Chains A and B, each alone.
Chain A
Amino acid sequence: MASKSQSCSIWVGSETGILKGVSLSKQQAFNFCEMSCLSRDQEVCVLEWGDPLESEVLVGCANGTVKAFSTEKGIFTESKECGDATQGKFTGLAMMDGSLVTCAESGILKVWKEGCTDTIEINVGNGVCRMRQNPSRRSQVATGGKENPLKVWDLERPDKAIFTAKNVKNDWLDLRVPVWVRDIGFIPDSDKIVTCTGYHQMRVYDPSSPQRRPVLEAEFGEYPLTALSLPASQGTVVVGNTHGQLAVLDLRKGLVRGCLKGLAGGVRGLQCHPTLPLVASCGLDRFLRVHSLEDRSLLHKVYLKSRLNCVLLSSRNLELSGADLSGEVEEVKQEGEEDGETDEVWDAMETVTDKTNKRATEKAAEENAVKGPKKRRKVAKK
């Protein structure tokens, strides 16, 4: 069990309540669940890392419990009651200085401190769809939902939101544009926040600028965008919608850079790898897919038998198994050898500069050769 969980580099939560770990190096998926006492109210709603070393996974369930799963030991270590089913499902989990931050659909955002029973509680408004923590400033969280605009809260000053987004201007029929924030992302190295909406819009807000309206707005497709993720390379964002379309959008102009193909069902969870150009997506078609962002090709596809709700990627290299260092060393050596071979191949080849001229002359020669016999044939028939 321990070795299995240590080799897993992608964690997926399903609707049946099973936490699944996928190891790409071993090409296997493992189920981690408690003694096959499965039930639908244990449905996994959110997955988050419990600590920066990524040794613990926090699992938020539909019945209000938050379970901690240790990746090193391979078992659930503790479980905490953080609310009940009446408040709705969890929409966000975060860890801040050892205390747990949870947000439910009804809008109740609570900070649970270790040891003491009193909690800081904020009501962020009804119908929350997502709560996310700012990775660079751990005390800031953003929330948004249906008819609930984007709000950024500082947990050290929980009375009022630091930033509340203003709705865009009325559209061309002078009607109020409805608000439905489905997912939020913080752009690294800047203050900006990206959101994707249920009305197939992607918006960028800048709290440091005086305007509370979005700085950039872009539309994609005709279906609600359900998930969003920011890749390691700056300037782009990956979004997914309910039809199974994944697109890479440009953040400078708001254009579609390209689409990732393959999904058949609605996207529920998306995450980009922190350093490599990879994105993992999971959805209602019961598959976990890993695409490469450079050439938009499908790298891995894993069938996990239940509908998947959320995905969590570890920062280490997905291809290598994290457990044994010797394995890493061997693979590094292999890469070195391959480089050496390719160098030899390059040295053996001729330089390319002359080839273009040769090609032009060869082409002309070919054309002449083709034209020649044709002319001769015509003459003969006459």
Chain B
Amino acid sequence: QMYGTHVQADSVEEEAAFPPNFSVSEIKNKQRRHFMFMKLKQEKRKRKLELKKKRKKEREALGDKAPPKEVPKTIENQRIYDETTVNPEDEEVAFDEGTDEFSSYFNRLTNPKVLITTSDRPRGRTVRFCEQLSTAVPDSHVYYRRGLALKRVIPQCISRGFTFLIVINEDRKVPNGMVLCHLPNGPTAHFKVSSVRLRKEMKRRGKDPTEHSPEVILNNFTTRLGHSIGRMFAALFPHDPQFIGRQVATFHNQRDFIFFRFHRYIFKNEKKVGIQELGPRFTLKLRSLQKGTFDSKYGEYEWVHKRHEMDSSRRKFHL
């Protein structure tokens, strides 16, 4: 049986004269309630379509005089202006970056050499992730951790000429953290790793990456902190990409999450490009940036993520 009264459009608008309307949620019978809710949604959709048609007609009628289409608001559009955003012509920041810990890489004095390891006793997924990561980063070596303390590993790495140390932390058989340490005396970044996809889980992937050095794309690292992290990622790869290999590694920063993708591209003609995704895919979120090599207890932190202070606004980002 159907309920007697209907929700009419007129009565909704003249609310002052009529007694308050019933709301769909007050019907106790689940079937009837569901039916009334479906009816409500259909009417709402109908009204929305009519409004849209009306607006489109008006726009066509006005022709050239029509007001420009409004840009929808997105969180990236509404981002709070960060005062640490780097101005490309700023001399002081340019000097700071020219003489920081990565200056030896960017002045072409050293070549990157990466050591990849994990936390103690890694499971299969993490081991495979490390192997695939080492194929993506040229001149990288994977070593088994063997329960060694990082503070003792680091001087040995420095003596053997490594420039970067990557430690993938594993929890419950899945990689969930990454410590990226620039070696001679450089900053240590601690990331949270999520959404790891190994090669066999990728759809429509290409063949395994070759030994050619990939090109590196760093997207959207605008603030001063973002610049430091972006330079850190850039210093992982050799200076000159080998374009014969047609491989590209992308670090895309959006809303403080850094997405890593590894592709092979081919130009079909001047305007069309085909890309194949190879290689592992993961997302990173920066937890802390520490000045100096890995020393979580006594090191000085340049930036620490403090959830309750920094994550209070949905439109404020730090990278």
A286 to chain B: which residues have CB within 8 Å? 84, 224
B310 to chain A: which residues have CB within 8 Å? 264
Partner of A284, one of B91, B92, B291, B306: B291
In the bound complex, what is the Cα–Cα distance between A264 and B291 (angstroms)? 13
B195 CB → nearest A CB, Å:
26
The reply to whether B297 and A223 form a contact with Cβ atoms under 8 Å apart is yes
Q: Which of A209-239 contact B (CB under 8 A)?
A: 222-224, 226
B302 to chain A: which residues have CB within 8 Å? 265-266, 284-285, 307
Q: Which of B114-154 contact A (CB under 8 A)?
A: none
Partner of B301, one of A18, A198, A244: A244
A284 to chain B: which residues have CB within 8 Å? 291, 300-303
Contact surface of A with B, Cβ cutoff 8 Å:
16, 18, 31, 36, 38-40, 198, 222-224, 226, 242-244, 261-262, 264-266, 268, 284-286, 303, 305-307
A309 CB → nearest B CB, Å:
11
The reply to whether B96 and A16 form a contact with Cβ atoms under 8 Å apart is yes
Closest to A180 in B: B298
Give the top 4 A-B pairs by smallest Cβ distance, nearest first: A266-B300, A284-B302, A242-B300, A303-B83
A296 CB → nearest B CB, Å:
13
A243 to chain B: which residues have CB within 8 Å? 301, 304
The reply to whether A264 and B304 form a contact with Cβ atoms under 8 Å apart is yes
Partner of B90, one of A18, A39, A305: A305
In the bound complex, what is the Cα–Cα distance between A285 and B223 (angstroms)? 12
- Mask, B83-97, CB within 8 Å of A = 1, is 110000011110110
Partner of A265, one of B92, B298, B301: B301
In the bound complex, what is the Cα–Cα distance between A265 and B91 (angstroms)? 23
For the complex with contacts A31-B92, A243-B301, 12 further pairs of A-B residues with Cβ separation under 8 Å are: A222-B297, A242-B301, A265-B301, A265-B302, A266-B301, A266-B302, A284-B300, A285-B303, A303-B83, A305-B90, A306-B96, A307-B302
In the bound complex, what is the Cα–Cα distance between A36 and B83 (angstroms)? 23
6 A-B contact pairs sorted by A residue (CB < 8 Å)? A38-B95, A264-B310, A284-B291, A285-B303, A286-B224, A303-B84
A377 CB → nearest B CB, Å:
15
**Range class of the B interface residue count:** 20 to 34
A226 to chain B: which residues have CB within 8 Å? 300
The reply to whether B96 and A305 form a contact with Cβ atoms under 8 Å apart is yes
Is B42 an interface residue, CB under 8 A from the partner? Answer: no
Is B270 an interface residue, CB under 8 A from the partner? Answer: no
B255 CB → nearest A CB, Å:
18
Main secondary structure of the interface of A (DSSP, over half): loop
In the bound complex, what is the Cα–Cα distance between A38 and B95 (angstroms)? 8
In the bound complex, what is the Cα–Cα distance between A31 and B90 (angstroms)? 13
In the bound complex, what is the Cα–Cα distance between A223 and B302 (angstroms)? 14
Is B64 an interface residue, CB under 8 A from the partner? Answer: no
Closest to B92 in A: A305
Q: Which of B151-178 contact A (CB under 8 A)?
A: none
A17 CB → nearest B CB, Å:
9
B303 to chain A: which residues have CB within 8 Å? 264-265, 284-285
> A16-B95, A306-B96 known; A262 and B298 CB under 8 Å?
no
In the bound complex, what is the Cα–Cα distance between A264 and B289 (angstroms)? 10
B206 to chain A: which residues have CB within 8 Å? none
- Mask, B278-319, CB within 8 Å of A = 1, is 000000000000010000011111111010011000000000
Closest to A265 in B: B302
B90 to chain A: which residues have CB within 8 Å? 305
- Mask, B61-93, CB within 8 Å of A = 1, is 000000000000000000000011000001111
B227 CB → nearest A CB, Å:
11
B301 to chain A: which residues have CB within 8 Å? 242-244, 265-266, 284
A242 to chain B: which residues have CB within 8 Å? 298-301
In the bound complex, what is the Cα–Cα distance between A40 and B101 (angstroms)? 11
Is B99 an interface residue, CB under 8 A from the partner? Answer: yes
A310 CB → nearest B CB, Å:
14
In the bound complex, what is the Cα–Cα distance between A223 and B298 (angstroms)? 7
In the bound complex, what is the Cα–Cα distance between A126 and B303 (angstroms)? 30
A16 to chain B: which residues have CB within 8 Å? 92, 95-96, 99
Closest to B83 in A: A303
Closest to B306 in A: A264
Closest to A198 in B: B298
B298 to chain A: which residues have CB within 8 Å? 198, 224, 242
The reply to whether A36 and B91 form a contact with Cβ atoms under 8 Å apart is yes
In the bound complex, what is the Cα–Cα distance between A197 and B224 (angstroms)? 31
B55 CB → nearest A CB, Å:
44
* Residue of A242, A286, A303 with most partner-chain B CB within 10 A: A242
In the bound complex, what is the Cα–Cα distance between A285 and B84 (angstroms)? 10
In the bound complex, what is the Cα–Cα distance between A62 and B153 (angstroms)? 30
In the bound complex, what is the Cα–Cα distance between A193 and B1 (angstroms)? 86
B84 to chain A: which residues have CB within 8 Å? 286, 303
In the bound complex, what is the Cα–Cα distance between A285 and B309 (angstroms)? 15
A298 CB → nearest B CB, Å:
11
In the bound complex, what is the Cα–Cα distance between A222 and B306 (angstroms)? 15
In the bound complex, what is the Cα–Cα distance between A268 and B300 (angstroms)? 9
In the bound complex, what is the Cα–Cα distance between A18 and B91 (angstroms)? 12
A189 CB → nearest B CB, Å:
33
B297 to chain A: which residues have CB within 8 Å? 222-223
In the bound complex, what is the Cα–Cα distance between A153 and B254 (angstroms)? 56
